[in-house]
Structure 1
Amino acid sequence: VEDEKVQSVLDVISKYSKKRTQIMPTELYYGVGAFSPMPIEVSVGGATVFVLPVERFEKV
């Protein structure tokens, strides 16, 4: 992406990559044959973006 378009690309990524919380099922182990389903809240979504100058790019 050209330098002048980086911010608009980041804006689009930010618009569609919102972080949110979600309840996920999990199981806790209490000993021989004893499991207890215990849902937990986890963060999902978002994005990690690296903006780097590229000296050289080759497609082979």
Structure 2
Amino acid sequence: MDHRLLEIVACPVCHGKLYYNKEQQELICKPDGLAYPVQDGIPVLLEVEARALTLEESHP
């Protein structure tokens, strides 16, 4: 994922910073406990497409 893109994208729910998980190809919003998929290098920033983080993922 392009780091320049990561600097400008924000969580669509809280407008907070997203963190990229390269292994799972997801953008993570810890405050909301959501993981947005990245498909073919394109973030899918739709709340309905996000998965809920597990307790371990949201509080490592």
* Greater gyration radius: 1
More contact order relative to length (CA 8 Å, sep ≥ 6): 1
TM-score, scaled to structure 2: 0.20
TM-score, scaled to structure 1: 0.20
